[in-house]
Structure 1
Amino acid sequence: MREEAAATIPLCAPHTASHFHVERQIHTNGIFADIRHFGWTQSSRSVFRPDSYYLDFSIGPRCPASRFFKSERQLADPPGDIVFLPKGGAFATLSEPGEHSLLCLTFANERAMQLFEDDSVAHLSPCQDVQIGRVRQGLARLVEELRNPGFGQDILLESMALMLVVELCRHFRSAQYDDRSAHGQMPGWRLRRVKDRIEADLAGSLSVADLAAEIRTSPRHLIRTFKATTGTTLTDYIAGRRIVRAQEQLAHEDLMIKMIAGNCGFQSAAAFSAAFRKATGMTPREYREARIGMG
C-alpha cells in the first residue's frame, strides 16, 4: 500500500473552492480515494473537467443550491448522494455558499479503464444521481475503511473499486437495452426528458449527442427509438417545435423578428424566414399581421 502525503493535491480537486481539506487519502494501482471537506463562502461559477473517471459519494448533505448546468442557462436538478462523471467531459457548475464532505474516487487503473471503455458499454454518460444499491453499499464501506484502515487495505481498496466499476458498467450497459419494447419504442420517461430538454434549449444548437447524453443512451439509439415512438424524426420534431415557438412569439408586437429568430435557434433572420415560410406558407411578418388582425 502507498499512502499519499496529505499535501498532495487529489485528482479532480475543486480549485475554485474557498477552502479545501483532505481528511484521508490513499492511492494504489491507479485508483485514488480520498475523503475531502470543502466549501464556498460566495457564489462561484466554473467548469469542472475530470481528468479521469470520477465517482463521489456525499458523506453529509450536499449544499442544495450548488448545481450542475444542464444547458448554458438552465440548472440541472440537485445532484443525489452519488455522482458519476466520465473522463474528458466539461461540466459547468454553480457553487453557492455551503459545505461539502465527500468520498471521491478516480480511476486510472488499467483494468478499470478496460471496463469503462469496453465496446459493449458503448456510451458512458454523466449521472448526477446514481441509484444503484450495491454501489451505495460499496462506497459506504470504503468510507469506513479509509477512516479505520486495517490489514490489506490496498488490496481491499482496489478490489472494491473494481467492483464499483463493474456495477456501474452493468448499469449503463443494461440501460441501453432493458427498456426497449418489442417494437423498439422509447419508454415514456425518456421521451418526456428529451422533449423537456428540447423545449428548454430551442435557442441553442440541440445536438443529437447532447440529447442522447440526457437520457444515457447512444445517439443512434435515440434517433431510432424517437422515430419509432413519435412517428417523426428527431430533426423534424425540433424544427416543428421551433416554428411553434416562433408563432407564439410573433403574437407579441414588441418582439423584433430578428430577436425571435435567435430565440428559436435560427442563425439569421433570413434562415428563420425561409424555414417559417416553408412550414406555414407565410413569412413571419405576414403571419404576424394575420394573427394580429384576427385579434
Structure 2
Amino acid sequence: MQIEAGNALPMCAPHTASHFHVEQQVHANGIFADIRHFGWTQSSRAVFQPDSYYLDFSIGPRCPTSRFYSNDRQLADPPGDIVFLPKGGAFAALSEPGEHSLLCLTFANERAMQLFEEDSIADLTPCQDVQIGRVRQGLARLVEELRNPGFGQDILLESMALLLVVELCRHFRHAQYDDRGVYGQMPGWRLRRIKDRIEAELASTLSVADLATEIRTSPRHLMRTFKATTGTTLTDYIAGRRIARAQEQLAQDDAMIKVIAGNCGFQSAAAFSAAFRKATGMTPREYREERGS
C-alpha cells in the first residue's frame, strides 16, 4: 500500500496506472477516505493487495474493458460498482486503456478491525460486486460529504464508515452461516481442498498462511475452524499425515531412510527418526524390519 509523500493517508495507488490524481481525502481515527481519478493508456496486469480492509465505490461506470481475473488466470465477470477486499486479500487485474473515478475507504480503526475479525465473520473473502443497498447509499453519502465538507466531518466520516462495516459484517455473517451448515465449522469443500493440498505437498514446507490463502481465509480462522471440524489441530494433522506417508513408503520400498524423510517433509533423517519414534514407538529402521521390508 503506498503512502503519499507528506501525508499519513494510505493511498493504495495502482503502480501501473498511467496517471493518478486525488480529488479529496480525509482521515478520521483510523478511517481513510479519498476520491481518486486514474487511468491507463495501455493494457496492464497487476495484483492489488491492500494491507488493511478496503472498500471502493465507482463514481460513474467502471471502465468496461478492465476485468479482475482469478488464480487460474481466467477472466472473471466485470466488477460491479462496489468492491470489497479483506485484509491480506488480493485481486489480480487486467486494466485496459480507460478512466476510473473511485471513492476508496481503508480501515485501520480499532473498532472496525474488531468487527471485521469477529469469530462469526472472520472467514471474509474478496467480493468484486457487493450488492447491499445500505452500503451503496452510505458510500454515495460519503462522496457528497468529501466533495462538500461540513461541520463535524471527521465525526460523520467515522460514524458512517462504521455503519458500513456493520452492514458488510451482517451480510457476510449471514452468508457464511448458510455455507457452514454447522455453525463455527469449516464447509466441506474447504476441508477437502485443505486436505488435498496437504497430501499434494507433504514433501515441502507447508505454511499455514499458504493453506489459508488456498481457501481465501485468515490463518487464525483456518486453524480455529479446522480444529472445530476435525477435532485435531492443523499442525497435528499435518504431522500425522507425514508419519502415515512415511509408514507407507517404509513398508512398500527399500528407499534410503533419508530419501523417505525428504519425501515426507522432514529436514533431516535425524528429525524424521525422532518424530517417527515419538509417533510409533519405533525407529524407521525398526518399523521397516518389523514389516519384513
| Alignment TM-score, normalising by the size of structure 1 | 0.60
User: 1:11, 1:51 within 8 Å by CA — same for their partners in 2?
Assistant: no
Q: How does 1:156-235 map to 2 (within 5 A)?
A: 156-178=156-178, 212-213=215-216
Q: Runs of 5+ in structure 2 lacking a partner?
A: 183-188, 190-199, 202-209, 230-293
Other-structure match for 2:84: 84
Other-structure match for 2:116: 116
For residues 5 and 173 of structure 1, the distance between their equivalents in structure 2, rounded to whole angstroms, comes to 34
For residues 63 and 74 of structure 1, the distance between their equivalents in structure 2, rounded to whole angstroms, comes to 19
For residues 141 and 61 of structure 2, the distance between their equivalents in structure 1, rounded to whole angstroms, comes to 18
State the shift of 1:5 in Å. Answer: 9.0
Work out whether 1:150 is the aligned partner of 2:145. Answer: no
Of stretches 77-86 and 63-72 in structure 1, the one that deviates more from structure 2 is 63-72
Other-structure match for 2:234: none
User: 2:32, 2:105 within 8 Å by CA — same for their partners in 1?
Assistant: yes
Other-structure match for 1:70: 70
Other-structure match for 2:30: 30
Amino acid at match of 1:148: N
Percent identity over the alignment? 79
Secondary structure in structure 1 of the residue aligned to 2:55: strand
For residues 6 and 138 of structure 1, the distance between their equivalents in structure 2, rounded to whole angstroms, comes to 29
Other-structure match for 2:134: 134
State the shift of 1:213 in Å. Answer: 4.3
How many corresponding residue pairs? 205
User: 2:85, 2:125 within 8 Å by CA — same for their partners in 1?
Assistant: yes
Other-structure match for 1:279: none
Secondary structure in structure 2 of the residue aligned to 1:72: coil
Q: Runs of 5+ in structure 1 lacking a partner?
A: 183-190, 192-203, 225-295
For residues 81 and 115 of structure 2, the distance between their equivalents in structure 1, rounded to whole angstroms, comes to 23
Work out whether 1:14 is the aligned partner of 2:14. Answer: yes
User: 1:6, 1:24 within 8 Å by CA — same for their partners in 2?
Assistant: no
User: 2:29, 2:158 within 8 Å by CA — same for their partners in 1?
Assistant: yes
For residues 103 and 62 of structure 1, the distance between their equivalents in structure 2, rounded to whole angstroms, comes to 12
Query: Which digits, 9 at most, give the CA deviation of each residue in 1:8-42, with x for residues without a partner?
Result: 46431112110011000001101100000000000
Other-structure match for 2:50: 50
Taking a change above 3 Å as real, the CA distance of residues 7 and 38 of structure 1, as seen in their structure-2 partners, is: farther
Other-structure match for 1:40: 40
State the shift of 1:71 in Å. Answer: 2.1
User: 1:121, 1:169 within 8 Å by CA — same for their partners in 2?
Assistant: yes
Secondary structure in structure 1 of the residue aligned to 2:37: strand
Secondary structure in structure 1 of the residue aligned to 2:120: coil
Taking a change above 3 Å as real, the CA distance of residues 138 and 6 of structure 1, as seen in their structure-2 partners, is: farther
For residues 73 and 157 of structure 1, the distance between their equivalents in structure 2, rounded to whole angstroms, comes to 37
State the shift of 1:64 in Å. Answer: 1.5
User: 2:28, 2:154 within 8 Å by CA — same for their partners in 1?
Assistant: yes
